[in-house]
Amino acid sequence: CCTIDWFTAWPSDALEAVANKFLAELPDTPASTRASIMAMCKEFHQDVAALSEQYRHEAGRINYVTPTSYLELITAFTGLLGAKRGEVSASQKRYEIGLQKLAFTEQQVSVMQDELTALKPSLIKTVAETEALMATVAKEKTEVVEPKKAVVDEDVKKAEASAAAANAIKTECEGALAEALPILE
């Protein structure tokens, strides 16, 4: 034969005491927040017990709401709270690093703008010197290269005329040779 040990539901004070013991281990949780969490867990447990009783009357089926269910609720809540705090902490750290990088980038841009501002007069001077040098090169080109180019062009024309005369003599010689070769044979 078997004997069933039947325990009655925990009273509200016991629910609060158990929740307080488990939630006391939560780091970085103010007392007011802990009190709200305890009240919420107690209310959830009592509401589920009431709904289970209503379900028993309406459907004729029993859903047991035990102290173990309450402990599982608190354990699940603390686990979920720890996981979410970890996620929030990781996100916060990522955002802080991003803000640091943005601040560093802003500082670097400011330094680069200062350097550009400092180099601007030098750049303007260099551009002016380059333009002056280009003007000098263009002037020298017209003064020195153009006359020499004219002389070279004249020499090219003379060489072409000499080549044409030499080709004419060559053609004439080849014609005379062509006439003389048959006579020689």
State both tokens at 82. 């720890």
* Type of residue found at 71: L
Split at pLDDT 50, 70, 90, the class of 2 is confident
pLDDT band of 1, cuts 50, 70, 90: low
**139-176 pLDDT per residue, tens:** 887 787 777 888 888 889 999 999 999 999 999 898 88
Is pLDDT above 80 for 4? no
The DSSP symbol for 10 reads: P
Count Cβ atoms within 10 A of the Cβ of residue 72 and give its class: 0-12 exposed, 13-18 middle, 19 or more buried: exposed
Domain regions of the chain by residue span: 1-65
